[in-house]
A and B are shown apart, each in its own frame.
Chain A
Amino acid sequence: MLIRFRKIIISVFVFSILPSSFLLAQSGSSALFSTGLLLVAAIIIIMAIYLVSENLLGIEAHQIGKGGEPSGTGSFFGKIKGVKVPKYVNGHFTKLTKGHNILLKGAPTDDVVEVKATTFAIQPKNFNGMSPIPKVVVNEGDEVLAGQELFFDKKRPEIKYMSPVSGEVMSIKRGEKRAITEVVILADKVQKYREIPAIDLDKVSRDNLVQFLLDCGGWTMIRQRPYDIIAEHNVVPDNIFISTFDTAPLAPNPAVLIKGQENHFQTGVKLLSKLTNGRVHIGLDANGESAPPSVFVNVADAEKHWFAGPHPSGNVGVQIHHTKPISSKDQVWILGIQEVLTLGKLINDRKYDVSRIVAVGGQVLSHPRHVRTKLGAKLNDILDGQGIKEDDRIISGDVLSGKAKLQDGFLNYFDDQISVIPEGKEFELFGWLLPLKMRPSISRTFPGFLFKEMQYSVNTNTHGEGRAFVMTGQYEDMLPMNIYPQHLMKAILTKDFEKMEGLGILELSEEDVALCEFACTSKQPLQHILRSGLEIMQEQG
């Protein structure tokens, strides 16, 4: 609170003292000039008073809204303008002002369509830190059940990676240096599930529960921060975080994902609460006009945290930073909504059911919508009849942090979104100075910043060439965390371990810096740099 008042005082000082000084200086010279300055000063002072009163109202509203200190991570004006708390918010509230929403054409509608996917694959590359050649326990041609083990990582043999569907192991594809890239399953028409023992969540011990999850495949739904790897089975996490909303471009609608599966979500959260010494924390969306689905708001066995603000406020990393920031000794676990549902179904239905609702979006699609399929489905099957052309880029994930895929590629393990945008391999006459097409930008040198609701068509052109770091303060405005991304990146490039850790590399994952990378004037590959830094940190232990 003190910081806020200090800012107010400074701003009033700036706004009132400066113009009046010029006024003083001008006394005696032309009357017109002085009158002009007087007018400007008057406007500025009125503005200052308005801002201050707004802010005081905001603080009051904030106190009514019960929450703790609003995390001051906003711009100067954002801070002095104060915080508006939506009516439906009933708990700890954090207003994030940094970041940027990128609105694209072709946002998925709320319709959910069943698609007939026939092939599915699990891709070892989806798991950070896994050795390139995991031990595959099935052979080509074997019949597998849904939830039957396909392979395990030799470094951590306890953790088994399961088949998403029942069917025949079609192929085990290998890439460079014989690394296994895909284990492909041809799905049966009628799905057969592996038997899963019943478990009583109220009575089971933590050890038994962990063993249960490892045995029946639920474990691979849980990721660990730092490093964004599959959780370690012999560690008790400090806290578990679930973000119930996604602010990325063309993101799925959480209400669509959860519809009809509310009980599974609750069971999943209850299960998770047995696994940690801390709490399960749920990140709730306070951006909308109305409250998010009631199952999120009313879920038991969890602590709720409300977040408002532009992308990346829906990123779990950002939410962790503002709830219980990770330090070098901590480990927290994270899950997406649909991973929690899978855990819930293990208990409720006694099935390894990895059904996924996937948002399919992008300006080139004829029907942007949600589709119901299963984890690891073939993209061709999902995108059938969408009118995709040769020179379109298919992305598993969002346009900022997703991975480019060929048409015969597969949905990545943790993705609930497919984006399709055209490639931008074209020259543009004076494209840097006078672009003919509107394009998303954080820069106020484009008129787009005046139209906040505008949706853009995009392509994959880099809009300029790579350069050394020149601009400063740009990344900080795109990352609502108390981190200096540019200095962190430089520390990674120079392999300065202590500085990397000190500057908070452990709190970050690629998706968190993706927006910085989008905004970067020098077109630096920040996600790549960050991952290489995380890999070094992990090796060093």
Chain B
Amino acid sequence: MSKILEFVKKLEPKKGTFVHTLYDGFFTFLFTPDEVTHGGTHIKDGMDLKRTMMMVVIALLPAYLFGIYNIGHQHFIALGAHTGFLDGFHLKFLFGLGKLLPIFIVTNVVGLGIEFYYAFKKGHGIEEGFLVTGALIPLIMPPDLPIWILVLAVAFATWIGKEAFGGTGMNIWNIALLARVFVFFAYPTTISGDEVWVSGIASTQSGAMAEYGIWHDACNWLFGLFGADTFNEAATVVDGYTGATPLILAYQGGWDAVTHVYSEAQMWWGTIPGSIGETSKPLIILGALFLIATGIASWRIMVSMVFGAAIMSLLLNAWDATPFMSVPWYYHFYMGSFFFAMAFMATDPVTASSTNRGKWIYGFLIGFIGIIVRVLNPAYPEGWMLAILLLNTFAPLIDHYVIQGNISKRLKRA
């Protein structure tokens, strides 16, 4: 180990340069610094922010793997080829990878670039906040999002959403969701409607051509060597295909319209169109359980969010004015990105309420308002992004009242 250390130490550039900030950032990833305690406690917990963030990334991994595969799977469903889930495994995986990699790389290059620049400007070490943000953003984007829009969105979120407030731990709104909401308001057609959730096809009209490029040619050449299935350049979208997500269908015709296209098992396991990482409920719940078991994310927020959503959908069931309102309350958990928002978005400790009692209220209101937006908003049938950003705004207020309660209790005693 000391040899690696010596070697890495030799590479150290001059202090005070941008390159040194970069070096320092990577160095602290490779080695925990030799800093010792002074003044306060003499020993410190082994936990630090890097490890915390990495645990979230680990919790996201199942969603990543499934997301990559599902991009390919949905693409071939639209084309009517390899319709079995495991058929054409290599094609689906590589197709998905070809879509996800650019998104992932661009997100992280842009986001980390801004982060590094500000770390250099302010003269502090590179903070690891973007580790999770950079892992979350690709999962909440549609697979065909134009890269330049992604660049703008990530830059906006990191710049205005985070650095303007002072960096990691200071932001008011969830940065990943800020990137998404930027796309949503600035370029709505790229992130809503029927067309955007399935990638690699010109449109969802039947007869539309599949869009393949150099990546796929290269893959075809490789698969040709082994005599495996290849991407079919002449493939077209099959008759009767819509690409609509369950939520759009539910908005149009209630639960019957949804089950007409997708089975419950499909929705539960996630072999449906949607944002890259949101579809597979069991894998996201697995991640959520991991975060709860390790104590990283607040189970209070998750549990109360489930309650909030359940109660609001029950109320809407009782009202029963539109087909969407009559969708049984428990089916709301099958559609859209409820679990992803619950496990990874609402629980962001920086933007959520910081008191335990506040967390109950915060999570409940997200669930409650999210369903309202989902069911009652004609423009966009999904509510979690807007509900979480709204409650991010109100989280300090919730905390304020919880803390005032504590204060007045103490004053009463005096």
Q: Which of B253-277 contact A (CB under 8 A)?
A: 263-265, 268
Binds A, one of B38-46, B68-76, B81-89: B38-46
Contact string against A for B residues 319-336, beta-carbon threshold 8 Å, 1 for contact and 0 otherwise: 000000000111101100
A446 partner, pick from B42, B46, B52, beta carbons under 8 A? B46
Q: Which of B283-308 contact A (CB under 8 A)?
A: 293-296, 298, 303, 306
A25 near B330 with CB under 8 A, answer: yes
Contacts of A14 in B (CB 8 A): 303
Q: How many residues of chain A get a CB closer than 8 Å to chain B's CBs? A: 82
A468 and B168 contact, Cβ closer than 8 Å, known pairs A440-B46, A443-B47, A462-B44: yes
Quote the shortest CB–CB distance from A342 to chain B (angstroms).
28
A484 and B406 contact, Cβ closer than 8 Å, known pairs A30-B265, A432-B50, A464-B49: yes
Check: A401 CB closer than 8 A to any chain B CB. Answer: yes
Give the residue name and chain of the B residue nearest to A499 (CB).
Answer: B407
A460 near B169 with CB under 8 A, answer: no
A467 partner, pick from B168, B353, B355, beta carbons under 8 A? B168
Contact string against B for A residues 355-368, beta-carbon threshold 8 Å, 1 for contact and 0 otherwise: 00000000000000
A467 and B5 contact, Cβ closer than 8 Å, known pairs A462-B36, A521-B52: no
A404 partner, pick from B38, B52, B125, B167, beta carbons under 8 A? B38
Give chain B's interface residues, CB within 8 Å of chain A: 1, 4-5, 28, 30-52, 54-55, 125, 127, 129, 166-170, 263-265, 268, 293-296, 298, 303, 306, 310, 328-331, 333-334, 349-350, 352-356, 359, 399, 403, 406-411, 413-414
Quote the shortest CB–CB distance from B393 to chain A (angstroms).
17
A445 and B413 contact, Cβ closer than 8 Å, known pairs A429-B4, A467-B168, A484-B355: no
Quote the shortest CB–CB distance from A112 to chain B (angstroms).
25
Binds B, one of A130-138, A296-304, A417-425: A417-425
Separation of A502 and B403 alpha carbons in the complex (Å): 9
A465 near B48 with CB under 8 A, answer: yes
Contacts of B43 in A (CB 8 A): 102, 399-400, 421, 440, 458-460, 518
B38 near A439 with CB under 8 A, answer: no
Separation of A352 and B55 alpha carbons in the complex (Å): 57
Given A444-B294, A472-B355, 6 extra CB contacts under 8 A: A22-B330, A395-B42, A427-B33, A463-B45, A483-B406, A502-B407
A503 and B406 contact, Cβ closer than 8 Å, known pairs A427-B5, A446-B46, A473-B356: yes
Contacts of B45 in A (CB 8 A): 439-443, 463, 518-521
Contacts of B403 in A (CB 8 A): 484, 487, 499, 503
Contacts of A328 in B (CB 8 A): 414
A33 and B334 contact, Cβ closer than 8 Å, known pairs A503-B403, A503-B407, A504-B410: no
B47 near A467 with CB under 8 A, answer: no
- Nearest 5 pairs of A and B residues by beta carbon: A464-B48, A468-B169, A431-B32, A502-B407, A327-B414
Contacts of B331 in A (CB 8 A): 25
Contacts of B295 in A (CB 8 A): 443-445
A401 partner, pick from B28, B41, B298, B354, beta carbons under 8 A? B41
A482 near B36 with CB under 8 A, answer: no
Contact string against B for A residues 391-416, beta-carbon threshold 8 Å, 1 for contact and 0 otherwise: 00101000111101000000000000
Contact string against B for A residues 12-33, beta-carbon threshold 8 Å, 1 for contact and 0 otherwise: 0010001001101110111001
Contacts of B406 in A (CB 8 A): 482-484, 502-504
Quote the shortest CB–CB distance from A28 to chain B (angstroms).
7
Contacts of B127 in A (CB 8 A): 467-468
Jot down 5 A-B pairs with beta carbons below 8 A, ordered by A: A25-B328, A445-B51, A464-B50, A472-B352, A499-B403
Quote the shortest CB–CB distance from A364 to chain B (angstroms).
13
A429 near B5 with CB under 8 A, answer: yes
Contact string against B for A residues 463-486, beta-carbon threshold 8 Å, 1 for contact and 0 otherwise: 111011111110010000011101
B32 partner, pick from A18, A463, A519, beta carbons under 8 A? A463
Quote the shortest CB–CB distance from A10 to chain B (angstroms).
9
Separation of A462 and B168 alpha carbons in the complex (Å): 20
Separation of A445 and B296 alpha carbons in the complex (Å): 9
Give the residue name and chain of the A residue nearest to B169 (CB).
Answer: A468
Check: A58 CB closer than 8 A to any chain B CB. Answer: no
Quote the shortest CB–CB distance from B339 to chain A (angstroms).
12
A29 near B34 with CB under 8 A, answer: no
Contacts of A431 in B (CB 8 A): 31-32
Check: A156 CB closer than 8 A to any chain B CB. Answer: no
A502 and B411 contact, Cβ closer than 8 Å, known pairs A25-B330, A400-B42, A487-B399: yes
A29 partner, pick from B28, B168, B265, beta carbons under 8 A? B265
Q: Which of A508-534 contact B (CB under 8 A)?
A: 514, 517-523, 525-528
Quote the shortest CB–CB distance from B176 to chain A (angstroms).
15
Separation of A79 and B308 alpha carbons in the complex (Å): 24
B48 partner, pick from A399, A400, A458, A463, beta carbons under 8 A? A463
Check: A426 CB closer than 8 A to any chain B CB. Answer: yes
Separation of A66 and B152 alpha carbons in the complex (Å): 66
Give the residue name and chain of the A residue nearest to B128 (CB).
Answer: A467
Check: A433 CB closer than 8 A to any chain B CB. Answer: yes
Contacts of B36 in A (CB 8 A): 423-425, 459-462
Best-buried of B33, B47, B127, B413 by chain A (most CB within 10 Å): B47
B55 near A445 with CB under 8 A, answer: yes
Quote the shortest CB–CB distance from A58 to chain B (angstroms).
22
B349 near A471 with CB under 8 A, answer: yes
Check: A78 CB closer than 8 A to any chain B CB. Answer: no
Contacts of A24 in B (CB 8 A): 330
Contacts of B408 in A (CB 8 A): 502
A470 and B48 contact, Cβ closer than 8 Å, known pairs A402-B42, A465-B33: no
Check: A430 CB closer than 8 A to any chain B CB. Answer: yes
Separation of A287 and B407 alpha carbons in the complex (Å): 32
B1 near A429 with CB under 8 A, answer: yes
Contacts of A325 in B (CB 8 A): 410, 413
Separation of A18 and B306 alpha carbons in the complex (Å): 9
B265 near A463 with CB under 8 A, answer: no
A432 partner, pick from B32, B350, B409, B411, beta carbons under 8 A? B32
Separation of A421 and B36 alpha carbons in the complex (Å): 12
Contacts of B50 in A (CB 8 A): 432-433, 464
Quote the shortest CB–CB distance from B76 to chain A (angstroms).
23
B263 near A21 with CB under 8 A, answer: no
Quote the shortest CB–CB distance from A215 to chain B (angstroms).
35
Contacts of B296 in A (CB 8 A): 445
